């Protein structure tokens, strides 16, 4: 590099540095004169992400609900037709049987020793889950709870089909319980009648002297 070229580079550096200083001084004197070098920014992991303002809609247009909101605000928009239950059965087989089992009794393939523990909530046919509102079950599918992960990837309407199918499984369980109770009552009545017949057929003793 010639002496002339070196001098040109040095002069350019001084000129640019002075220009940058002038811009910075102007920015300090005039707050509305923003520059890229002085813009506010947040470094990664510097602070927690801000929550969206109330009423914000996600990019897919689906509003989110936590469990409490879903429990108290939502009502199933479907009536449980055969088509609804068929769609629910398809989704249940895809997402739910691995933990909750085919009939909803909580005996899925990943439940057992050294795997997911057998807890009451796995049995979605039982009285505990029957007491939940449709909105709560819908919200639990989307938000998860305890060992259950959230299934937000299941569209909102498909979650309602799942709720309808869960109600169908619960209805089947209640019918089975009622049939078992009737059978037990009939068996008890038959045993009682047999005992009465046996007692009536016995010959009374003649205890005591004359």
Place of tokens 């990664």: 44
> d(Cα 150, Cα 181) in Å, to the nearest integer?
37
Burial (0-12, 13-18, 19+ Cβ within 10 Å), 25: exposed
Residue 53 lies in a domain: no
CATH of the domain at 73: 1.10.760.10
Per-residue model confidence as pLDDT tens for the chain (210 residues): 576 665 565 555 545 554 555 555 555 555 555 555 566 666 676 666 677 787 777 676 677 888 999 999 999 999 999 999 999 999 999 999 999 999 999 999 998 877 888 887 789 999 999 999 999 999 999 999 888 999 999 999 999 999 999 999 999 999 999 999 999 999 999 988 888 878 776 655 545 444
Residue 27 lies in a domain: no
Place of tokens 């609804």: 84
Residue 134 lies in a domain: yes
Residue 73 lies in a domain: yes
Name the CA radius of gyration of the chain, rounded: 36
Residue 51 lies in a domain: no
Range of the domain at 78: 67-188
> d(Cα 13, Cα 26) in Å, to the nearest integer?
20
Number of domains into which the chain is organized = 1
Q: Which of 100, 99, 93 is nearest to 124 (CA)?
A: 100
Residue 157 lies in a domain: yes
- Whether 60 contacts 77, CB under 8 Å: no
Residue 198 lies in a domain: no
């Amino acid at each position: 590099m010639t002496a002339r070229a070196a001098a040109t580079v040095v002069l350019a550096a001084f000129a640019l540095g002075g220009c940058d200083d002038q811009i910075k001084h102007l920015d300090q004197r005039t707050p509305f004169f923003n520059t890229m070098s002085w813009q506010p920014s947040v470094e990664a992991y510097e602070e927690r992400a801000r929550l969206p303002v109330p009423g914000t809609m996600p990019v897919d247009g689906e509003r989110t609900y936590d469990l409490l909101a879903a429990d108290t605000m939502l009502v199933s928009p479907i009536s449980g037709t055969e088509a609804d239950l068929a769609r629910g059965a398809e989704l249940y087989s895809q997402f739910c049987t691995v933990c909750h089992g085919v009939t909803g009794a909580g005996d899925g393939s990943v439940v057992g020793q050294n795997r997911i523990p057998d807890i009451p909530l796995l049995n979605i046919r039982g009285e505990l889950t029957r007491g939940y509102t449709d909105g709560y079950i819908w919200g639990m599918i989307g938000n998860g709870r305890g060992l259950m992960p959230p299934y937000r990837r299941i569209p909102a309407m498909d979650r309602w089909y799942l709720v309808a199918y869960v109600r169908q499984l619960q209805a089947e369980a209640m019918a089975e319980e009622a049939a078992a109770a009737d059978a037990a009552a009939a068996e008890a009545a038959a045993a009682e009648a047999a005992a009465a017949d046996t007692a009536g057929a016995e010959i009374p003793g003649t205890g005591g002297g004359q």
